[in-house]
Amino acid sequence: MKSVLDQLREMTTVVADTGDIAAVKRYAPVDCTTNPSLVLAALTDPASEDMIAQEMEAGRKAGLTAGEQADKLTVALGAELTKVVPGRVSTEADARLSFDTDASIARGRAIIADYAERGIGKDRVLIKLASTWEGIRAAEVLQDEGIDCNLTLLFAMAQAVACADAGAFLISPFVGRITDWYKKAQGVDGFAPDQDPGVQSVRQIYDYYKSNGIDTVVMGASFRNTDQIKALAGCDNLTISPKLLDALGQENADLPRALSPDKASGMAKVTMDEATFRWEMNADAMATEKLAEGIRNFDADHQKLLKVIGDRM
């Protein structure tokens, strides 16, 4: 019998939630990602030692600041990853830009320009932005310029609707972080897969998109266990950590398809303007708290990266 991972690959695009080049080679995902925490890991990864040394030396000669060097390293790692995956590398914009549309647009363009200097076309890259109102508006502009975006830190239907309206290429609803919030709020140890609030959120978004012919890719992210992944088998994309990829690869059992476009319920399309978006986010304590926490944590990782780079420089 095929492993659960092999069966999953037949119905879902599997993305590696890691920037570890050795792990990416081992699991052979279609796409992968970079972010400050993954660049931090690369700084101590022997497999990335030569690339890091070259980038740091070039940065010193160019007189780059720690922030500019961090941006260069992020793209350099992404460039290395394009050599081992056939698809896209999601490359994160600085979390501090999450509420600045113009700065997010400028950063997205700069990332694409840096990749282009390394001989990598924009068709291999996704610009990763937080699903704030401002981030979504930045994605709308970038998409119109042919620069595809991954809207991350997505916890609510309001965000998913706004991202679809903006023509975002891909969204990353965070399953595990939603589950974490509800476990704490309800004082429970866990949920059965079908009752898991994180799983239910992605299923609802997927249903809305497929019911309305929305092309935006739904990529479930932030998984806590393999049961959550199995409960979303058939989702467009799923981004999975090496630990959970290992577990799925070692399990031999039948994997039924949980999501399929032809099973869409026919949900009605809704309108999402800024006032409605902000009201619905305000009304959703989980989404508001997890979005803010996610941006803070991304920034904390970025600050750690800046310190390590500053020390090395």
Residue 148 and residue 28: Cα distance in Å, rounded? 22
- Give the position of tokens 């305000």: 282
Q: Quick one: CA torsion of 6, 9, 15, 19, rounded to 10 degrees? A: 30
Q: Are 298 and 97 in contact (CB under 8 A)?
A: no
Residue 297 and residue 159: Cα distance in Å, rounded? 19
128 is a catalytic site residue: yes
Alpha-carbon separation of residue 175 from 89, 172, 231, 244, 261 (angstroms): 21, 9, 11, 14, 20
Candidates 122, 128, 210, 230; catalytic one: 128
Alpha-carbon separation of residue 79 from 75, 115, 121, 183 (angstroms): 6, 7, 10, 38
Alpha-carbon separation of residue 207 from 154, 265, 269, 274 (angstroms): 16, 7, 11, 23
What residues are labeled active site? 128
